[in-house]
Structure 1
Amino acid sequence: MDQRLSVGLALVVLAVLAGGTAAPSAESLSPDAADSSDAPVDPPPLESAPTCPVETVGSATAADENETASPTTASDVRNDPAPAPRIVELYPNPTTDGNVGEYLVLETPPETTLENWTVTDGHTTAALPNETVSGRLALSLDPDVTADLTDDPVSVLEGHLRLAADGDTLELRNGSTTVDTVTYDRAPQAERWYRTEADDRAVDPDSAPVRGDWHPRGATCLPVSNVDVDEATAFVLPDSPDVPRETIREADDRLLLAGYTITSDAIADDLVAAADRGVDVRVLLESGPVGGTPAATEDVLDALADGGVDVRAIGGEGSRYRYHHPKYAVADDAALITSENWKPSGVGGESSRGWGVVLEDERVANDLGDVFEADYAGPDTHSSESFRTNATFVDDSDGLETPPPSFSTEHESTTLPVDGVELLLAPDNAEPRLTDLLAAAEDELLVKQASVADDTAVLEETLEAARRGVDVRLLLDSSWYHDDENEALARDLERIADDESLSLAVRLVDDTDRFEKIHAKGAVIDGEVAVVGSANWNDNAFENNREVLVALYGTEIAAYYAAVFEADWTGDDDRWTLPFGLSATVVVALALAAVVGRRYVRFGDPTPAERDR
């Protein structure tokens, strides 16, 4: 038999034995080839909304008709009005020296007289003021300081009670009768404890102490926003660096830009030009990126200041978020959400494979604008001048003077119909909603990430999808700073897939002339939902960072990102070229090994690239 024919037949055997039909090509998943069904894609129901402390953005109980669920306030978990005074909030560890101004908040029935009421930690006791009160009341040993820390009315405690920052149990007493008992663990700095459990001490005063949750002071607590949107412009980088710049250039009224870092002179020029034509331009960035602020930021900040652009940096001691890590812009009634930083290697199209989307919708823009306004006005933001004075600027270049790489446009930006959009925020609601979406997967799940933590809930939900028969593929970055951890994760998932006979495959991206590294943070679910945004798949991103994502519903928009995934998964056309002298016997042996062996394929060696922090 002709040796080429033997090899060809062996490869057919390999394809059949290792998994059946071949993966569809990028062309077959193009928007033009998408499912033409007119049936809209309906999102799975939202299982729960966040429970919010009073005074946070998002704590209003009135439901908006376009929201999938309304947040629950701390007051909602109790009978209303309260049958007796009870402790509903604690602030043991403010950012003040010596925790001066620490306080607790009572919620009381109307016209409650506090004479003979006390609060104790079992060692020291403080007396409540002899007042008649209604509703919420903050109590503090330092009421003048506390007044700057809360919007509740403040009264003074008489005594020496201090709220222990390492955790404690407090009893509220009326004379000798214990009316309420709460307990809390170690208090994170600048976070407030708020009551989340329904409880009625008047009925059962001997029950266990009530516990609650911690929430950063000034952080939002917003539900998932579900908006009816007719179309969206999908784009990827490095293919379409013109899309972010065009969005900025088209702003006439407001331009709100949020990011982790900003080092692009081109973006700075566009922002200054917008300010020159009378647009309200504001920028919010992270004050302490991992490893320090890139040196190129300093010149950009100077240019923005000279051009009349208001810039603030968020972070520092007592910050609401571990990192301010979103990448979005609100331009009039348009919202741009992407995975890429405002730097040449990101939105500039000089390095990263990223995903992005532009939504021309007033509701989405306003909802995202509200997030920007809340973050921008927080107590942990600093003026550009203050930030520049205290920042540590570091050279993050590789020292080479070579011109930046140039990449061809293989995936044009495209405006496509959508059935709806959900705005997801971390730490408010993104993780539970994303796990809901993953849990609803039935057929196929495509995940593209720079890296994935091995202990995060979204990875566990991805594994559960594979266990119920969903075809799961993960495409990860192969840059030197992700290489070891991604290879280790791939080996672990490979072992699980083999042990449990799962349809689960992991690849580290091959060297390619289409981009330098994967920086996308996306997923495509059942060819019907695409998730685009800034959140890396790790607990810090979902639980501590400010992140912004969108879930895009619709077969055509999902097909766009799936096509990009497939092209990057397949890699360069010559990757599978076999040495002509390889015998058919060896190829068949490899095919048989594929049935019982590895489900993970690693292509190429990692190439050094600029690390995106």
Structure 2
Amino acid sequence: MRLIAAVLILLCLLAGTAGGIQIVEFCPDPYQPGDPDEYLALEGTGVLDGYVLSDGEGGYRFPPGTRIDGRLVIARGGPAFEQAHGYLPDFEIEARTAAVPDVIPNGNLLMANRADELLLYHGTTLVQQIVWPGDVHPREGQIHYLEDGVWDPRPLFIGQSRLLPATFDGVAVTAFVAPDCSYEIFSAAVAEAEHEILVNVYEFTDEKMANDLICALDRGVGVTVLLEGGPVGGVSAEGRAVAGALNRSGIPVLAMTTTDAAHAKYRYDHAKYLVIDGSTVLLGSENFKPGGYPAPGLQGNRGWGVLLEDPGLAAYFREVFLFDSAGGDIVPLEVTAAELCTPWAPDYTVEFAPCRAEEARVTPVLSPDTSTLILGLIEGAEKSIAIEQAYITNETPYDLNPYLTAAIDASRRGVVVRVLLDSVWFNTEGNADNDEMVETINRIAAAEGLPLEARLADLEANNLAKIHNKGVIVDDRAVLVSSINWNANSPAFNREAGVIIEQPDIAAYYREAFEDDWNAAQEEGAGDAPGPDLLKIVAAACILAGLTGLYIYRRRRI
């Protein structure tokens, strides 16, 4: 028995030494000049004696007796890695700081940016080989990571979070739509705040919303605002004026942008949410602009929003905010002292009041971390899918958007799918935008006889400025409310925020709003409106007819 026990112990020690240790993460092309912060990470359990890392030209081993229990990070330079990631690595290759132990080099292992390989040996046995391009596709700033045996299940860049899916039950939900009742929900929620308001929004230009936050500060509520530092077209004059007013009141206004210290975590911080008192989240598709949160009775965008009351859910979003608002890519926004003003807007007849429901199941959807949840929502449809989007773009001229592909595939198994897109001029004037997308979807539906239809919204009929929504309703049971546009960038590279709400009354509320927009866009109305190319042809035909008439008239005069 003693002999058997000894053998078992020896086998366990050997297994711990030579089994299960592998490279699980590496970054060959970080942002710092010269890549002093390039690194790799090992995972496993055991003694690293006999393990060697190499790129086929140089390599290193570990000091005798080095043990790994979980994760171990090796960087070229400790200080550079700390600057990029906020903590020191376990080992460094180039002796830069006494605080970090050194590996034992044999030559110089430098990971090339565009093409190279990593080799992990145990003795003379090749344990693991990673080649790029091949196993991974290189890109500046990208961290390549192994998950469930797959490299790079989603793009991950330096500084980004790695959130896991989470679901919260028993959430109280107040659903609202813009322009009908969005501002009243925002204003009331801010007015009820007692301790803290955290704001993360892509653009903030609304005077009255800024004043609401200032009033909250005046009664002792701590307020912090995080904005995108480089939105498309830059921060507007109105945005800098609002930021200036907030800043002068004592509210810190931060911006996410590339700095000398760090690259921006995300291509755009495009989220739109508040966290109030660690118990409530307000989230939606709309920026904090007059069109997204108009005063009651004024025209604005069609958008969806939701107020969520649950401490666990609020804690989740609070952690997201604290993560995103920290680091070298966060700086005070440059502001101005210009006066605030609210632009004129046409009158609007309110149709939808807010809808409150209890006991909802809510799943946060954060891009780029968990945006694949949208695919799961669509793929799980059994009866119907209603999609209302500002726009949908394809991945390439030959590949449909993956969310749209999932919806079309659902129609192929009998699910009734309807797609409503914005029809404002900047979403229809090009040669590959919403009107062409509607034509493409309807052409597929006709060719295959699918229960699938797409329309352009009739903005005039519904007195809307534009469709800015990014929403989906599935089977009248689950709803996506989010900031996530259906393009290649938004789900994969932006920070976006949304939720999937499972509650039949809430689904019915958004379904009613969708039906109102859908029915205004009659099949023979806005959905079949002439596109820019047709208008050009008609205009050319009119000019040609005029010239022909003038020629005939002159011939007759002669």
> Partner residue of 2:172?
231
> Partner residue of 1:295?
237
2:54 corresponds to which of 101, 120, 134: 120
Task: Determine the C-alpha separation between the residues in 2 that align with 1:272 and 1:80.
Answer: 59
Tell me whether 1:169 sits opposite 2:95 in the alignment. Answer: no
> Partner residue of 1:394?
none
The equivalences for 1:524-603 within 5 A come to 524-571=473-520, 601-602=527-528
Relative contact order, higher structure (CA 8 A, sep 6+): 1
Task: Determine the C-alpha separation between the residues in 1 that align with 2:76 and 2:159.
Answer: 22
CA contact (8 A) 1:257 1:329 kept: yes
> Partner residue of 2:411?
466
Q: Which amino acid aligns with 2:404?
A: L
Q: Deviations over 1:126-152 (max 9, x none)?
A: 333434322243334433323444544
Q: Which amino acid aligns with 1:142?
A: G
CA contact (8 A) 2:386 2:473 kept: yes
Task: Determine the C-alpha separation between the residues in 2 that align with 1:352 and 1:530.
Answer: 19
Task: Determine the C-alpha separation between the residues in 2 that align with 1:266 and 1:243.
Answer: 13
Q: Which amino acid aligns with 1:127?
A: Y
SS of the residue aligned with 2:143?
A: strand
SS of the residue aligned with 2:215?
A: helix
The equivalences for 1:20-169 within 5 A come to 83=19, 85-107=21-43, 109-113=45-49, 118-122=52-56, 124-135=57-68, 136-148=71-83, 149=85, 150-156=87-93, 157=103, 158=105, 159-169=107-117
CA contact (8 A) 1:509 1:603 kept: no
Tell me whether 1:403 sits opposite 2:351 in the alignment. Answer: no
CA contact (8 A) 2:171 2:362 kept: no
Q: Deviations over 1:465-493 (max 9, x none)?
A: 21111221111110111114111011111
Question: Percent same amino acid among aligned pairs?
Answer: 33
> Partner residue of 1:451?
391
CA contact (8 A) 2:201 2:273 kept: yes
> Partner residue of 2:145?
194
SS of the residue aligned with 2:527?
A: strand
CA contact (8 A) 2:457 2:527 kept: no
> Partner residue of 1:346?
292
CA contact (8 A) 1:527 1:558 kept: yes
Task: Determine the C-alpha separation between the residues in 1 that align with 2:211 and 2:65.
Answer: 59
Task: Determine the C-alpha separation between the residues in 1 that align with 2:185 and 2:16.
Answer: 50
Task: Determine the C-alpha separation between the residues in 1 that align with 2:359 and 2:526.
Answer: 34
> Partner residue of 1:435?
375
Task: Give 1:366 deviation, angstroms.
Answer: 1.1
In structure 2, do the counterparts of structure 1 residues 382 and 184 end up closer, same or farther at CA, with 3 Å as the change threshold? Answer: farther
Residues 184-193 or 272-281, more deviating: 184-193
Task: Give 1:520 deviation, angstroms.
Answer: 1.0
Task: Determine the C-alpha separation between the residues in 1 that align with 2:270 and 2:36.
Answer: 31
Q: Deviations over 1:214-256 (max 9, x none)?
A: 5222212222221112531111111112111221221111101
Task: Give 1:339 deviation, angstroms.
Answer: 0.5
CA contact (8 A) 2:388 2:471 kept: yes
CA contact (8 A) 1:252 1:278 kept: yes
CA contact (8 A) 2:37 2:80 kept: yes
Give the TM-score, by structure 1 length. 0.73
CA contact (8 A) 1:229 1:419 kept: yes
Q: Deviations over 1:560-601 (max 9, x none)?
A: 1111111112229xxx8xxxxxxxxxxxxxxxxx9xxx9993
Task: Give 1:174 deviation, angstroms.
Answer: 4.6
Task: Determine the C-alpha separation between the residues in 1 that align with 2:435 and 2:528.
Answer: 8
**Mind listing any 5+ residue stretches in structure 1 that lack a counterpart?**
1-78, 199-209, 390-396, 577-593, 607-613
CA contact (8 A) 1:264 1:344 kept: yes
Task: Determine the C-alpha separation between the residues in 2 that align with 1:602 and 1:230.
Answer: 41
Task: Determine the C-alpha separation between the residues in 1 that align with 2:20 and 2:476.
Answer: 53
In structure 2, do the counterparts of structure 1 residues 560 and 131 end up closer, same or farther at CA, with 3 Å as the change threshold? Answer: same
The equivalences for 1:355-366 within 5 A come to 355-366=304-315
Give the TM-score, by structure 2 length. 0.79
In structure 2, do the counterparts of structure 1 residues 447 and 134 end up closer, same or farther at CA, with 3 Å as the change threshold? Answer: same
CA contact (8 A) 1:108 1:133 kept: no
SS of the residue aligned with 2:26?
A: strand
Task: Determine the C-alpha separation between the residues in 1 that align with 2:352 and 2:37.
Answer: 56
In structure 2, do the counterparts of structure 1 residues 161 and 273 end up closer, same or farther at CA, with 3 Å as the change threshold? Answer: same
CA contact (8 A) 1:509 1:602 kept: no
Task: Determine the C-alpha separation between the residues in 2 that align with 1:223 and 1:175.
Answer: 37
SS of the residue aligned with 1:492?
A: helix
Task: Determine the C-alpha separation between the residues in 1 that align with 2:456 and 2:151.
Answer: 44
CA contact (8 A) 1:84 1:179 kept: no
Task: Give 1:360 deviation, angstroms.
Answer: 1.5
In structure 2, do the counterparts of structure 1 residues 160 and 412 end up closer, same or farther at CA, with 3 Å as the change threshold? Answer: same
Q: Which amino acid aligns with 1:463?
A: I
**Mind listing any 5+ residue stretches in structure 2 that lack a counterpart?**
1-14, 94-102, 395-399, 533-558
Task: Give 1:195 deviation, angstroms.
Answer: 2.7
In structure 2, do the counterparts of structure 1 residues 329 and 82 end up closer, same or farther at CA, with 3 Å as the change threshold? Answer: farther
1:244 corresponds to which of 174, 186, 199: 186
Task: Give 1:80 deviation, angstroms.
Answer: 8.3
Task: Give 1:425 deviation, angstroms.
Answer: 1.1
Task: Give 1:211 deviation, angstroms.
Answer: 4.7
Task: Give 1:378 deviation, angstroms.
Answer: 3.6
The equivalences for 1:384-403 within 5 A come to 384-385=333-334, 403=344
Q: Which amino acid aligns with 1:449?
A: Q
In structure 2, do the counterparts of structure 1 residues 498 and 274 end up closer, same or farther at CA, with 3 Å as the change threshold? Answer: same
Q: Deviations over 1:507-551 (max 9, x none)?
A: 111123532111111111111112111111122111111111111
Task: Determine the C-alpha separation between the residues in 1 that align with 2:501 and 2:191.
Answer: 25
SS of the residue aligned with 1:98?
A: coil
SS of the residue aligned with 1:343?
A: coil
CA contact (8 A) 1:108 1:134 kept: no
> Partner residue of 2:207?
265
Task: Determine the C-alpha separation between the residues in 1 that align with 2:238 and 2:111.
Answer: 44
CA contact (8 A) 1:494 1:599 kept: no
Task: Give 1:338 deviation, angstroms.
Answer: 0.8
Task: Determine the C-alpha separation between the residues in 1 that align with 2:180 and 2:530.
Answer: 23
> Partner residue of 1:278?
220
Task: Determine the C-alpha separation between the residues in 1 that align with 2:283 and 2:480.
Answer: 11
Tell me whether 1:498 sits opposite 2:446 in the alignment. Answer: yes
> Partner residue of 2:464?
515
> Partner residue of 2:552?
none
Task: Determine the C-alpha separation between the residues in 2 that align with 1:523 and 1:128.
Answer: 52
Tell me whether 1:182 sits opposite 2:130 in the alignment. Answer: yes
